[in-house]
Every structure is written in structure tokens, then in C-alpha cells.
Amino acid sequence: MPFYLAAWMRVSEWRYVAHSNRDLEKGNSAKRPAKRDAMRFAISLLAIACTVVLGWPRLHAQSRNALDHVTVPMSVEGNVPIVTLLFIRPDGGTRTARFLFDSGGGAIILDERLATDLGLKPEGPELSDDGQRYRAVKPPAARIGGMTLDLSASKAFVHLGATSFTNRDALEGMLPGKALEHYQVVLDYPRQLWSIGKSGTLAHRGERLLAPYLASSGHPRIEVSIGGATYGLLLDTGAAVTLLREDLLRGWSREHPDWPRGSGAVGPANMGGGTDDPHLLLLRIPALQVGSFTLSKVATVSRPDLTYSATSYETPAAIVGALGGNVLSQFRVEIDYPEQLLFLKPSGKIPANDFDTVGLVLDTNSAGELVVRAISSSASEETRHSVLPGDIILQIGNVHNARYTLTEAARALSGTVGERKQLRILRKGQPMTATVTVSRIL
């Protein structure tokens, strides 16, 4: 049961972020559990554009001298990597746009406004997926850090309409790993740098692991060990949190009642406004091993079993979930697509608990307003009494933002356990104030 973002839509990930764009790529329309009310956002790309296009003179000097590889700034937001691509308009002017790099994505996705600015002409029939509409386009020519990217390995689709294809992050496009199968790609999460180079141009650093994929999908598969058993996972840079089949997590939850758990996709798990989000299981695994590295207290989120069935993803062997940003962000990650290898170099930093939050499951409505869908069973009594499903959040603290993305809202609603936050909400048309308390949800 794929989703359109193929892992962010992948159930989102946009991921349920899961992966309907695989279905778009095949010309099919799949019914996915995630409902994607498009988010509209007002975001300024000027600062990032200036940083990427005008700043970092050393890196740009490097790219002028060796256009076969380049390093540029990478923004890590909600554990996912975002880079700024540069395009040439039909009139010769330039246009920058923020793209998610999603190694679990199925096809290039562009918002309609961006596609229009670039003069892209949709072709073929209109495809519909749970209210979202798409048409195919030719992959656009793109540049990053002065280097021209060949994106022809991937198909591309325009998300039709005035709203964005995702309400999780402020983006105008999604760049799947399939589009970069001829390149080495480095995500240096600790330094927030993104490098890309033709095969053999970037020096390998870190521990070498196998990351095979099928040419038809470009989805790398890796293996991890949990409790002495080995499992195959999708390498998923588009997933904010590690995702696992529900049957696995519920089985471990019964076998290990001491493992911290919770319900509802809150905080970083609130990735796509899925209809199942209020019921998802959160489980913190004591130890997960990837290669020789053992990571402690790894947060995982359940996904319906069909999300990672034998046919959901095209991988060389079966997978039971996706290794997401809460794990990957602890490393310098290199994906060598031509050699089908993964290199991991740990940062040595212990991540903060990103499930210290008020415990609200959020979505956006058709007007772009932030709506409470559910309250976690682990939320404080004050929170559960102050906020109700259906409430519209107008303001968090002193910041009024009528167009919160889910990532922005999750950040604003997180903090120190016991911290109280004031919300301005709209309940059945009546504005009011509510007080919520940060709790350790997981």
C-alpha cells in the first residue's frame, strides 16, 4: 500500500511519507492510509538562495574548478535533509527552490507554481491519489553549487493545485535517490553539509556497508540487528523517525512491557497527517545495531503491515521498515549509488530526546490551518483537559503563524519536561486560550 512520497508520503513519511509516487511512476493510483491535506506555506527562499548561490565562496571556487563534485549547505529540519536547487527560467533568469532529498522517494515531485515558473509542460493523463492530483513532466535541468545535475534517471510529476504536496515541511519539491543513481551523495548531518559527485570523485569515510537496490526503484536496502535478529530496512532519508511494521512493534511491546511506549504520531512522528496517526504505536527500542555501531534507546513508529509488504517497495529482498532520520542524523552518511554501498561515520554526539513534547497529533485542513486530530495517551492531564480534537491552533506562545508546517509546530510544542506553553485556539468558531504542558511522551 504505497504512498506518494514514497516514504514521507510513504505513509510520509510525507512518509507515512510512503510512497505513492511509486504508484504515480507506474501510472497507478493507490489508496493510502495517509490523508494529505495540502499545506500552503509562505516561505522566503532568499536567505538560503543567497547562502547557496552567493555565499560559501570557497565551495563555489571548488565547484568552478571541479564541476564533477560539489559541497553545499544542507538544512536538517525535523531530522530530514533539505537542499536548495537552482533552475533556469525560460527567460534566462534563475529560480531557486527547496527540495527534500528522499532516498526512499519514487519520483521527482514539483509543486505546480515551481513547474510553471520553469516552463514545464505537463503531459499525459491526470493522475489522482487521495484527492491529490499529478501530471507527468520531463525532469528539469537543475544545478547545485554550480554543478549541473543529470536527473534523467527518474520520472517527474507536477503536483497540481495552489497548495504544496506536503504539509510536513516548507518545500517546493522532492528529489528521490533514483534521480541520483549515477552519483555519490554525502549527507553530513553533524556539519549540515550535502555533497554530490560523479562516481569516484568523493573520498569514502567511515564504515563500509552494503546498500543494494534495484535499478527500477533506486531504494537502498540495509540490514540492522535488533535483539539478536537481523532485519532488512529501507534507507530512508525522507523519514524523520525510524518506521517498522505494526506487527513487529506490537509483538515486542507485549514481550517487553518495560520498553517505553506511547500512542499517537506526535512530535517528529507527526509526519504526514495520516488518518491512522492517532492510533500509531510509538516504541523505544533499547538497542539497534547497524554495522558495528550500536545505538541506544531508538524511537520507532508503527506503520500498517502493508506499507512494508513484499510488494510495497522494490528492494532486492524483503524489508520490515525504514531506517529514518533519528538514526541517520547521528552520522555522516555517504550513499555510493554506482557501487551500491553505504558509508557511516558517527558524530559521537548523543541526541536529545525529541519526544519531550505536549503530545498533540496534528494535521492541516484545506485552509492550511493547524488542526488537533488527537491527544496522546501519554500527554499530561492538563494538556488532555485543555485541548480537544478538532481545535484549530492559531498561535503557539508569542508567535502567531497561521501557516505552521507540521515540523514547525512540532518544534514549537517541544521543550523541557514540565514546561508550560500557551496556545491560542479556535473551538467551534470561538477563540480561546489553552495551557499545555511538555511531557516525556516516549
Examine residue 151 and state whether it is found in any structural domain, yes or no. Answer: yes
Per-residue pLDDT tens for 217-270? 999 999 999 999 999 999 999 999 999 999 999 999 999 999 999 989 998 898
* H or E element at residue 71: strand 69-73
Domain boundary among 346, 366, 381: 346
The answer to whether residues 252 and 269 belong to one domain is: yes
Task: Note the pLDDT of residue 165.
Answer: 86
Asked if residue 317 and residue 433 are part of one domain, the reply reads: no
Query: Does 363 lie in the same domain as 340?
Result: no
| Residue 99 and residue 175 in contact, taking contact as beta carbons nearer than 8 Å | yes
Asked, for residue 21, whether it belongs to a domain, the answer is no
Q: For position 19, what pLDDT does the model report?
A: 41
Residue 394, C-alpha cell as written in the block:
492559531
Instruction: Note whether residue 28 is domain-resident.
Output: no
Question: Domain check: are 319 and 374 in the same one?
Answer: no
Same domain, 235 and 176: no
Residues 6 or more apart whose CB falls under 8 angstroms from that of 61 comprise none
Number of other CB atoms surrounding residue 108 within 10 Å:
25
Range of the domain at 110: 46-198
Give the total number of structural domains in the chain. 3
414 lies in some domain = yes
Q: Where are the beta strands (DSSP E) in 191-330?
A: 193-198, 207-210, 221-226, 229-235, 242-245, 261-263, 281-290, 293-303, 321-323
Establish if 135 belongs to a structural domain. Answer: yes
In this structure, which amino acid lies at residue 187? L
Helices (H), 243-374: 246-255, 325-328
331 within a domain of the structure (yes/no) = yes
Is 89 in the same domain as 173? Answer: yes
- R_g over Cα of the chain: 21
Q: Please give the pLDDT value at position 12.
A: 35
Whether 336 and 363 map to the same domain: the answer is no
Helix (H, G, I), strand (E, B) or coil at 50: helix
In CATH, what number is assigned to the domain containing residue 407? Answer: 2.30.42.10
Question: What pLDDT, on the 0 to 100 scale, is given for residue 309?
Answer: 78
User: Do 250 and 338 fall within a single domain?
Assistant: yes
Q: What is the CATH number of the domain that holds 102?
A: 2.40.70.10
**How far is Cα of residue 270 from the mean position of the Cα atoms in its chain?**
10
Do 271 and 162 fall into the same domain? no
Residue 8 inside a domain? The answer is no
Q: Whole-angstrom distance between the N-terminal and C-terminal Cα of the chain?
A: 28
Last residue of some domain: 153, 174, 198? 198
pLDDT digits (tens, 9 = 90+) for 169-189: 889 999 999 999 999 999 999
Within a domain: 10: no
Block means of pLDDT (10 residues each) for the chain, 442 residues, are 35 36 44 34 30 38 63 96 97 97 95 96 89 92 96 96 87 96 97 97 97 95 97 97 96 96 90 78 97 96 88 88 97 98 92 90 88 93 96 89 84 94 95 96 92
Please give the share of the chain, as a percent, with pLDDT higher than 90. 69
pLDDT of 402 reads: 62
Q: Are residues 252 and 190 located together in one domain of the fold?
A: no
Pair (236, 317) in one structural domain = yes
Do 372 and 244 share a domain, yes or no? no
Domain end residue (candidates: 346, 378, 402): 346
Burial class (CB in 10 A: 0-12, 13-18, 19+), 340: middle
Residues 40, 99: Cα–Cα separation, whole Å:
15
